[in-house]
Amino acid sequence: MVSLATEDADTDHETLLARGVEADAEVLRMGEYVPPMFTFRDPDGNQFRMVQRP
């Protein structure tokens, strides 16, 4: 899986969902030491992880 960095996981998640991209239902939050993240898939089913930078 390829991981991509973002400044704002919530905004990117909303944008991708609004554009019809298949993505996790929610941004994952696993505590203060793990950055917010979510996965999404391209039309071929390849998975990508979007991780918010600290």
Write the CATH number for 9.
Answer: 3.10.180.10
pLDDT at 47: 97
Dist CA 34 CA 54 (whole Å): 9
Element (DSSP H or E) covering residue 17: helix 9-18
pTM of the model: 0.91
Residue 41 contacts residue 48 (beta carbons within 8 Å): yes
Instruction: State how many domains the chain has.
Output: 1
pLDDT tens readout for residues 6-45: 999 999 999 999 999 999 999 999 999 999 999 999 999 9
4-16 pLDDT per residue, tens = 999 999 999 999 9
Per-residue pLDDT at 2: 95
Q: What does the pLDDT read at residue 14? A: 98
Domain that holds residue 30: 2-52
